[in-house]
């Protein structure tokens, strides 16, 4: 257990070292948790979409959000809002699964607004139209990319 009020990494940045459950909720120190996604992993857009989809399919949207957030932070300026919106959709699903309907609705709406400008020319095979339809209903597991 940390002696400071906040856990810190080697560079002094705040990092919560508490274990988390499959939906990203913090558990008490020492409790078994779900392995967290490493932060700052460089991935291609295709690798980010594949890994995030794998996590969504496993019922781990919080972890998918972390992958999509890494992509958002490293994306070219022209794609940042797409990746930000995808991360927000994953967090919206996280809130829905946690039973927070209000938070889910807010994040699904925000995510949909952020990805909607990409509808007519979606980069990397992202199924923007399908995700917008999914966000409107919030049911099932979203498909990030169009199937080949």
Q: Considering the domain boundaries, does residue 15 fall inside one?
A: yes
Q: Considering the domain boundaries, does residue 145 fall inside one?
A: no
pLDDT digits (tens, 9 = 90+) for 30-61: 888 888 777 888 999 999 999 999 999 999 99
Is pLDDT above 50 for 1? no
Write out the two tokens for 12.
Answer: 């002094």
Q: In terms of domains, do 53 and 25 share one?
A: no
Q: Considering the domain boundaries, does residue 115 fall inside one?
A: yes
Non-local (6+) Cβ contacts of 27 within 8 A are 18, 19, 20, 21, 33
Q: Identify the CATH number of the domain in which residue 96 sits.
A: 1.10.3450.10
Number of structural domains (the chain) is 2
Give the residue numbers spanning the domain of 116.
Answer: 47-137
SS3 call for 16: coil
Q: Considering the domain boundaries, does residue 21 fall inside one?
A: yes
Q: What is the DSSP letter of 68?
A: H
> Of 21-25, 55-59, 80-84, 96-100, which gets the smallest average pLDDT?
21-25
DSSP-derived secondary structure for 42-63? ---HHHHHHHHHHHHHTT-HHH
């Amino acid at each position: 257990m940390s002696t400071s009020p906040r856990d810190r990494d080697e560079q002094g940045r705040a990092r919560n070292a508490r274990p988390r459950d499959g939906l990203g909720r913090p558990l008490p120190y020492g409790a078994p948790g779900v392995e967290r996604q490493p932060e700052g992993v460089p991935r291609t857009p295709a690798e980010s979409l594949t890994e995030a989809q794998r996590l969504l399919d496993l019922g781990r949207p919080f972890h998918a959000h972390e992958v999509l957030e890494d992509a958002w932070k490293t994306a070219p300026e022209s794609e940042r809002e797409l990746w930000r919106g995808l991360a927000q959709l994953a967090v919206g699903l996280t809130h829905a699964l946690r039973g927070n309907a209000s938070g889910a609705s807010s994040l699904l709406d925000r995510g949909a607004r952020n990805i909607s400008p990409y509808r007519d020319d979606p980069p990397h095979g992202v199924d923007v139209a399908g995700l917008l339809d999914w966000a409107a209903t919030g049911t099932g597991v979203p498909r990030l990319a169009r199937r080949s």
